[in-house]
């Protein structure tokens, strides 16, 4: 599988009703070898017209944040939870998210990034269902062999001073998270070993155990304090 094969499938997709009102699909763009990917919510009007992610006002601001942090747009990958514009920029519906996120999951599998930066609540909750954006933005989460870093959506932060300060402070942490990736993963192994201990001791039903794993997994990693993040 390659990103362009996935984009081709998306371009003719009719899996949800958003296909009826779209101008163009917006599959996402960037490097197939990106270490970090940014996942927004869905195309707005500019993106729907251009067929490219984050190319309107929010996109200009995202470009600014990327540039300030030393990233080039073409070395990262920028995608969305849904690939067709929800009419009038309404929130995507659960049924639309369910229909579309298999594409995002395939893109992630191909790219195999170290870090997924989620932009806004919908993106965060796809990966971290238990998180709340106000409480958990700017914290690092580990799942499997990847790290997740929820931040505010640039469109929400753009015109709101306080959120703007927060998104900029969070964004500035990204290079350090990547730099410390191996160290953070080491700590993860320790945490996982501990989880196994807990499960062995409690000998709970397998359902209870997986619920417990999710609870533990949707908590930010302890090591962010040691890392000075
Ligand atoms: N907002 C998003 O969530 N995604 C885009 O691509 C553009 C704006
Ligand atoms: Fe297909 Fe996603 Fe577009 Fe729905 S939003 S039609 S699932 S590409």
Please report which ligand is nearest the Cα atom of 42. 1
Task: For residue 122, give the nearest of 172, 147, 156, 88 by alpha carbon.
Answer: 156
d(CA 142, CA 46): 33
Look at residue 194 in the predicted model and tell me its pLDDT: 60
Which atom number of ligand 1 is nearest to the Cα of residue 58?
8
**Considering every ligand atom, which ligand is closest to the CA of 102?**
2
How many other β-carbons are positioned within 10 Å of the β-carbon of residue 148? 24
pLDDT at 229: 54
Query: What pTM did the predictor assign?
Result: 0.86
Of ligand 1's listed atoms, the one at least distance from the Cα of 41 is 3
Cα–Cα distance list, 25 to 54, 55, 111, 120, 166 (Å): 13, 14, 20, 20, 31
Mean pLDDT by 10 residues, the chain (229 residues): 98 98 98 98 98 97 97 97 97 98 98 98 97 96 96 94 95 97 82 49 37 48 48
Question: Which atom of ligand 2 is least distant from the CA of 92?
Answer: 5
Distance in Å, CA 220 to ligand 1 centroid: 26
Q: Which domains does the chain have, with CATH numbers?
A: 3-183 (3.40.470.10)
Q: Can you give the pLDDT at residue 221?
A: 72
- DSSP for residue 17: G
User: Cα 11 to the chain's mean position, in Å?
Assistant: 22
The pLDDT assigned to 48 comes to 98
DSSP 19: G
Q: Atom 4 of ligand 2 has which residue's CA nearest to it?
A: 16
């Amino acid at each position: 599988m390659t990103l362009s094969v996935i984009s081709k499938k998306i371009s003719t997709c009719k899996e949800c009703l958003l296909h009826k009102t779209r101008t163009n699909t917006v599959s996402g763009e960037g490097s197939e070898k990106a270490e970090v990917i940014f996942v927004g919510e869905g195309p707005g009007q500019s993106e729907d017209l251009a067929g490219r992610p984050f190319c309107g006002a929010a996109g200009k601001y995202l470009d600014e944040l990327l540039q300030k942090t030393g990233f080039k747009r073409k070395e990262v990958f920028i995608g969305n939870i849904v690939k067709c514009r929800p009419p009038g920029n309404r929130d995507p519906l659960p049924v639309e998210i369910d229909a579309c996120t298999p594409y995002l999951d395939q893109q992630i599998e191909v790219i195999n990034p170290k870090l997924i930066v989620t932009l806004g609540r919908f993106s965060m909750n796809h990966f971290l269902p238990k998180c709340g954006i106000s409480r958990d933005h700017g914290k690092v989460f580990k799942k499997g062999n990847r790290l997740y870093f929820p931040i505010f959506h640039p469109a929400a932060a753009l015109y709101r001073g306080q959120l703007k300060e927060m998104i900029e402070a969070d964004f500035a942490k990204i290079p350090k998270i990547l730099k410390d990736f191996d160290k953070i993963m080491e700590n993860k192994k320790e945490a996982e070993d501990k989880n196994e201990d807990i499960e062995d001791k409690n000998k709970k039903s397998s359902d209870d155990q997986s619920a417990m794993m999710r609870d533990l997994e949707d908590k930010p990693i302890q090591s962010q304090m040691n890392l000075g993040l």
